[in-house]
Structure 1
Amino acid sequence: METGRRGLMYRMLIVDDLPVIVEGLLDMFGKRKPELELHSAYSAYQALDILGRMRINIVLSDIRMPGMEGIELLHEIKRRWPMCKVIFLTSFDDFQYVKHAISGGGFDYMLKTESDESIVKTVDKAIAELDAEAEASQRLLEANLQSKQAITLLQQAYIHTLLKGTARTSESSLRSKIHELEIPLAVERPIYLLLGRIDSWGGKGAQADRKLMLFAVQNIAGESLRQTARFAAAEVDGSNVAWLLQPIAPHGESGEGAQEEAEEAWLESASKQLDAVQANCREAIGLAVSFVISHAAVRWESLPEAYDELLSLLWGEQGAGSEVKLTGLTGPYSPRSTLEAARSKLASRKMKKIGLLGHYLENGGKAEFDSLLDEIFAHAADENRSSFVKLEVYHGLASVFLSHVNLYPLDGKLAAQIGLDRLSHIDVNLSWQELHTYFRKLAELLFANREEPAAEDEHVVVLRINAYINSHLAEDVSLVKLAGIVHLNPSYLSRLYKRTAGIGLSDYINMARMEKAKELLKHSAYKIYEISAMVGYDSRLSFIRFFKANMGVTPQEYRDS
């Protein structure tokens, strides 16, 4: 087969009712273009038989043949192989007939009396067009893949905001985001929350390996869960995976009682599915995984509270061990237990202060950090020496430190000195003093490490860049500005972003501008020139050209539609 400029292979079929012409063309192309895979037919019907058995890229055909003429053959070729290039050879200088053939989808035509060089040149032109079409198709395929990768990153980022309580949870906001990010969940229905934890990494210490393993856990669980539920998943805190689940409604009886029975049956089925997921994770990727699932579906706005509860269970005393499987303590309307009340009281008084430690770590406030850490441990130890309080403080501090380590990674030697594995494996037998000493030592190491910051994790960089772009569209979002925010070389940031997000940085900026413009056009009364400035265009005309190039209509036409 012919090798085009892009290394593609092509077949050509020569069709004529005169064998002397067919044999002559076969001989000529065999010598001049030996890379072409050549086929021959002595009638349109023979040609159709060949076209039915294999894909033909180029057809070189007589335009007038007995039984079925070239134009009829052209229609059949285009029906079977729309991209095939049909070149007509004719002994008749019949302009109207040839014009009809070309308007029907023919690629080109020539007289049989033309030179071999002219015929080869026309075939070369057809090959060049096939190359161009193949290249365009490949670009479209790559663009679709990159878009899917970008959507996946954005989905995960949005799930993070839902779990952390920073997302807007009005019905209109949820509906808009879920539609925009192609999340297969219904806003009007509550959510079951499932958390998974890697119990042991099995020697897979590199961050890239761990991300791959977390992705594998998502896939294994997804294969089982999609049988009975729609879901969206996200990696959380480096060693957990969260799933938002909605059971697929069964056909049959309706009503509140029937629905409750159906959901109870689904929850029981999901528990059995998790047994299979644990077994598959153990056998396929060599990892032990523990799970905890909410006892009942929760409202979207209650996801942060459900997440906190499940996380406390998973990393608490009940979650100790390997391949644990738990169910949340409470449903959305159950009375709060004494244990939960104690947790809430501690959270309101201590967790805000624990969160402030992250601010001091980020901004180099070592003295303030040390003072606040001492205060937190002194008060917690004096107030309540129960294991629950210890777990709560441990979990809060571990979250702060893990978040910081993700942003400013330690090298392997330093990480080994402090024992970072303690952050993900809580030891309730440690004394308050031992915990205090551990976190003080870890803080000293982190402050020292921040003096020469390491490169951020690539996915964190992308998420930080995306968040900045989305909230600063009207400001400077140039490559130089964005590189300064994450302390990277502009050229390196450009390569890193495209490699990690799957799309170019400028493509994401344009996408963010387009989505913001569409939202403002549909849901605000701002004038076009005001929206233009709000999404980063100084010129209203530039904005209109940009919008029409992407949407096919002007901003005003889009607003009016």
Structure 2
Amino acid sequence: MIKLLIVDDEQVEREGLEAILKKAFPGLAIRQAKNGKAAVRVAGEFMPDIILMDIKMPGMSGLEAVEQISTAFPETKFVMVTAYDTFEYARQAIKLGVKDYLLKPSKASEIIATVGNVLAQIQEEWKETSHQQATLRKALALAETDIVTQLLFDHVHEVHLDMLVEMLGIRSTDEQFVMSVLLPAGGEGNYAAIKEKVRITSSCWVGALYGRQLPIIVFRDQEIKFRSQAVSLANEILSLAKSGDSPGWFVGIGNPCRSLNQTRQSYQESLIATMDPNQPRRFRFYSDVPVLDATADYSVAKQREKQFFDQIRLGKWDELYTDFMELIRRYENESADLVQIQQRMLELLWIASRIMSEIGVEAEFPLYSFQASDYRQLRAETGHLLERMRQSYLKHYNRLEADTIQTIKKYIVDHSHKDISLEYLGKKVGLSPIYISKMFKEKLGINYIDFLTECRMEKAKKLMVDPEKSLKEITFEVGYHEPNYFSKVFKKMYGLSPTEYRRTLLWKKG
């Protein structure tokens, strides 16, 4: 409902205007104020969309009231009502952004036409704002999945990390942890329901679905204990499971961390926590995963797991092979139980298989074909499984066309004004979002989101040469939905705000 405020020191004038407008526009919510000072007070409570303001009133004049109200509510539209048709009043009114004016006395038809024009303008702006908000919501959903992907699998440039966090509008805290949700085969349709469920329950960012695994960055609620918050959220997610596919659901929970840049560690921990989904409960904390290497320091064993994780993700197979063999040799020197150590190696190989699946590499699930009778057999069989996984990795990598990255690069350059996400690019070229992120960084030495930003900023600089284009128009043309965010990114990259940069262009041109 559009709200209208009538301001006039003559009650008969106020009543007359209200009667005319109620008859012509029955949907309007109308309030009155008897002077400028009252108008400022009523505007603060009523927050009108349009104000019919008399100019000459005792005490605070109409123009003074307009100046104060427009400062607090810049979207409010004003129509001045006056018996004084002078240039000076008109000049001041235009300077204050007044949309129109009515001369006393005015015919009912003139009042209706003038107010009707302003109402039509307000409705058009609302329609445009609604469209922009819908577009922004869509863009923010893409930004959310992308920032999770970048945080967990790559480095996010501080320009994007700081401002995307601000844009997303989801309350973040100084501490967070990652949950990895494993879904049953064919359970991808639960994505929207999970996202809605966690939105209601906790402050979090939901990533993209990779195969059957969904990562969620959860921000700590300092009012309750970490385990209580995690268990509550895990149970909420698991409540979405249907009775038939309940065994396919499992939630791994990583440890809390103090920085967004450390979330990859919590993510790795959450994956390790899903290694054995055959648990009495359908969720498991990383801190509850037993360390089979009883002779080793706990933190050292966990650090080794993370090292294996990164070696596989980056394709460092020679390093991985050497570290596996060294680990088995150390177990042998300590005379550790062979059955337990083979199980330990299988767990680590299982992590490797999970990571490969996430980056789009199809590989057989690693299984030992027999129980090793000595450490020599264990080394040989472990090396054999690692080699099979390496071959799957190389086969996948070599199958990619040599110009895939150039295809992606060209698409981003040509379509930088659109909402381009890693997930969308993945579907376009048939690769996983994680793999594209990795490949883009390796081949071009830059994150895809930084490359996309550079394309947009270069296009913006070219558009700024045209003085007829407003910065708001340029914001939308280059692919952003929020002028303030565009300005912050531009200044972060070039050291000048868009306004300052454009001023330098005009100065050089002059």
In structure 2, C-alpha distance between the alignment counterparts of 1:542 and 1:150, rounded to whole Å: 26
1:265-414 matches, cutoff 5 A: 270-281=226-237, 289-293=250-254, 311-312=271-272, 314-316=274-276, 322-327=282-287, 329=291, 334-335=299-300, 386-388=342-344
In structure 1, C-alpha distance between the alignment counterparts of 2:75 and 2:138, rounded to whole Å: 25
In structure 2, C-alpha distance between the alignment counterparts of 1:309 and 1:44, rounded to whole Å: 63
* 1:14 to partner: Cα distance: 5.7
Given the alignment, which residue of 81, 93, 99 partners 2:85? 93
Could you list the runs of 5+ residues in structure 2 that have no partner in the other structure?
169-174, 319-339, 373-403, 430-447, 476-485, 497-510
TM-score using structure 2 length: 0.53
Change (3 A) 1:466 1:113: farther
Residue number in structure 2 paired with 1:515? 454
In structure 2, C-alpha distance between the alignment counterparts of 1:297 and 1:560, rounded to whole Å: 30
TM-score using structure 1 length: 0.49
> Deviation string for 1:105-125 (max 9, x for gaps)?
433223224443333222122
SS at match of 1:314: coil
> Deviation string for 1:328-357 (max 9, x for gaps)?
5499995559x98xx99x989x9969xxxx
SS at match of 1:131: helix
In structure 2, C-alpha distance between the alignment counterparts of 1:300 and 1:71, rounded to whole Å: 52
Q: Does residue 1:212 correspond to 2:192, yes or no?
A: yes
> Deviation string for 1:203-238 (max 9, x for gaps)?
x954222x1354357547845xxxxxxx86645644
* 1:48 to partner: Cα distance: 5.7
Q: Does residue 1:106 correspond to 2:98, yes or no?
A: yes
Residue number in structure 1 paired with 2:434? none
In structure 2, C-alpha distance between the alignment counterparts of 1:271 and 1:174, rounded to whole Å: 31
Change (3 A) 1:512 1:147: farther
Q: Does residue 1:141 correspond to 2:133, yes or no?
A: yes
Letter in 1 for 2:188: Q
Residue number in structure 2 paired with 1:196? 180
Letter in 2 for 1:324: R
Letter in 1 for 2:6: L
Contact 1:297 1:332 in 2 (8 A): no
Once the two structures are aligned, what percentage of the paired residues are identical?
Answer: 14
Residue number in structure 1 paired with 2:333? none
Contact 1:74 1:105 in 2 (8 A): no
In structure 1, C-alpha distance between the alignment counterparts of 2:410 and 2:144, rounded to whole Å: 20
> Deviation string for 1:269-297 (max 9, x for gaps)?
53454344444445687877443535999
SS at match of 2:98: coil
Letter in 1 for 2:275: W
SS at match of 1:60: strand
In structure 2, C-alpha distance between the alignment counterparts of 1:80 and 1:149, rounded to whole Å: 31
In structure 1, C-alpha distance between the alignment counterparts of 2:40 and 2:143, rounded to whole Å: 44
Two-structure CA RMSD over aligned residues (Å): 6.2
In structure 2, C-alpha distance between the alignment counterparts of 1:295 and 1:45, rounded to whole Å: 54
In structure 1, C-alpha distance between the alignment counterparts of 2:214 and 2:357, rounded to whole Å: 19
In structure 2, C-alpha distance between the alignment counterparts of 1:62 and 1:218, rounded to whole Å: 52
Residue number in structure 2 paired with 1:409? none
Could you list the runs of 5+ residues in structure 1 that have no partner in the other structure?
1-7, 162-166, 185-190, 224-230, 251-265, 354-383, 407-421, 433-464, 489-508, 519-531
* 1:130 to partner: Cα distance: 1.9
1:20-39 matches, cutoff 5 A: 21-39=13-31
Residue number in structure 1 paired with 2:8? 15
SS at match of 1:315: coil
| More relative contact order, 1 or 2 (CA 8 Å, 6+ apart) | 2
The aligned length equals 388
Contact 2:252 2:283 in 1 (8 A): yes
1:165-184 matches, cutoff 5 A: 167=154, 175=158, 178-179=161-162, 181-182=164-165
In structure 2, C-alpha distance between the alignment counterparts of 1:30 and 1:176, rounded to whole Å: 51
* 1:152 to partner: Cα distance: 0.5
